[in-house]
Chain A
């Protein structure tokens, strides 16, 4: 039998669910960070990254760290500690900490996606381009707009769990 050179197709299970690496990054700006982080981590497995286990561990540590900053900020804000310690400038410190929280999320996602970009670009060059995951982005936006505020009524503080969105 004639030897067959391997076809240029990914050999991982669920490879068909992979999307462009940057899609979760841009989606996070409109739909919150936790789902974008979960999506990005899953994408590392769908793409078949060599360091997908490292990426999963990093996502867990990154999420814990940034969500903790959000929780601490919320607790300090609600307890009035900012005003007590910094006086009138307390609201500025609160705003700066909130910005740092937002940027922290972007950095975590950027590190994850930076490790997927090459492989995703290559997968996209093999015939059919990888999709943007528009349905997933739509679901994230709907959840961010309707489900999160509804849950917020019962569980004060869901924002630091879900992560803020800019729109």
Chain B
């Protein structure tokens, strides 16, 4: 009886995850784990579900629970890999892929995680290889087609990326990833209006999708051909995270200090003063562009709507 309850709840949870209804899936996982708290598979699936909801601490804890019960469960290692990737531990995620590949050479879950790692690290060649391997094992897999499309757009092959993304949209018209991919394909071909529409479509289905938001931001700025360039630095920093900003500060400081040292040594006082005031002015302009860009993007993001035909 308990076993039937467990099986039904786990099946319902998996179905809900497949539909993207993660909150509903959580309720079914609770039912399944109440019936059988020692199921490593249920803990691992719950961890993957939590990773997709970006609940990182819970995802790590559930993956570790799964592996404590069954240390050789491939799904447990996949769950730990996703949890590691979510916390920025690319090395840990790659180790999970290797481990699962050894345990389950024909499985597709390791390849899906491999695609996600390559996408996170923007390794175009690796993304294409992993997506092709995934497609060979699951020919109608929308995710694999989407990843191939992204690899093509990263390589500047916009037309090929668009063809693949249209194929993915034919199979799954309501897939947020497919909409985002066709957006990147349009962006690679400089079709910025369509790229923004696709990004807004993806955001209408997945509001927390950061890469779709960046696509929307980049497309919106490219459309403003007269003023958009002023926000290039702010957008570049937004796309590349706070790390890049701090590195940029170091490079800026290095140029500033070394030039200042030379001007001071050769007693070029007017130039030294110009350098000092100029650097302050640049810093203020850069900070100001951040504030204005945030307002522009907040305004653009209000227009989310699903477009079915591009």
Whether B246 lies near A113 (C-beta < 8 A) is yes
Please give me the 9 A-B residue pairs with the lowest Cβ-Cβ distance, nearest first: A118-B88, A3-B33, A99-B257, A92-B265, A95-B261, A6-B58, A3-B34, A114-B243, A6-B61
Interface flag for B92 (CB, 8 Å): yes
**Nearest A residue to B241, CB-CB:** A117
Whether A96 lies near B261 (C-beta < 8 A) is yes
A–B pairs, 23, beta carbons within 8 Å: A3-B33, A5-B29, A5-B46, A6-B57, A6-B61, A9-B57, A10-B57, A50-B87, A91-B265, A92-B262, A92-B265, A96-B258, A96-B261, A99-B257, A106-B249, A106-B250, A106-B253, A110-B243, A110-B250, A113-B243, A115-B88, A118-B87, A118-B88
Whether A8 lies near B55 (C-beta < 8 A) is yes
For B262, the chain A residues whose CB sits under 8 A away are 92
Interface flag for A103 (CB, 8 Å): yes
For B54, the chain A residues whose CB sits under 8 A away are 122
Whether A95 lies near B246 (C-beta < 8 A) is no
User: How many A-B pairs with Cβ below 8 Å?
Assistant: 79
> A68-99, CB under 8 A of B: which get 1 and which 0?
00000000000000000000010110011001
For A106, the chain B residues whose CB sits under 8 A away are 249-250, 253
Residues of A within 8 A of B (CB): 1-11, 21-22, 25, 50, 89, 91-92, 95-96, 99, 102-103, 106-107, 110, 113-115, 117-119, 121-122
For B264, the chain A residues whose CB sits under 8 A away are 95
**Nearest B residue to A97, CB-CB:** B261
Cα–Cα, bound, A119→B57 (Å): 10
Whether B26 lies near A5 (C-beta < 8 A) is yes
Cα–Cα, bound, A62→B258 (Å): 22
Whether B246 lies near A110 (C-beta < 8 A) is yes
Whether B242 lies near A5 (C-beta < 8 A) is no
Interface flag for B62 (CB, 8 Å): yes
For the complex formed, measure the closest distance between the CB of A97 and the CB atoms of chain B, giving whole angstroms: 10
* Secondary structure class of chain A's binding surface, majority of residues: helix
Whether B89 lies near A50 (C-beta < 8 A) is yes
B30, B50, B243, B257: which contacts A103 (Cβ < 8 A)? Answer: B257
* Secondary structure class of chain B's binding surface, majority of residues: helix
> B47-69, CB under 8 A of A: which get 1 and which 0?
00010001111100110000000
Whether A99 lies near B250 (C-beta < 8 A) is no
For the complex formed, measure the closest distance between the CB of B7 and the CB atoms of chain A, giving whole angstroms: 16
Interface flag for B138 (CB, 8 Å): no
Cα–Cα, bound, A121→B254 (Å): 27
**Nearest A residue to B26, CB-CB:** A5
**Nearest B residue to A2, CB-CB:** B34
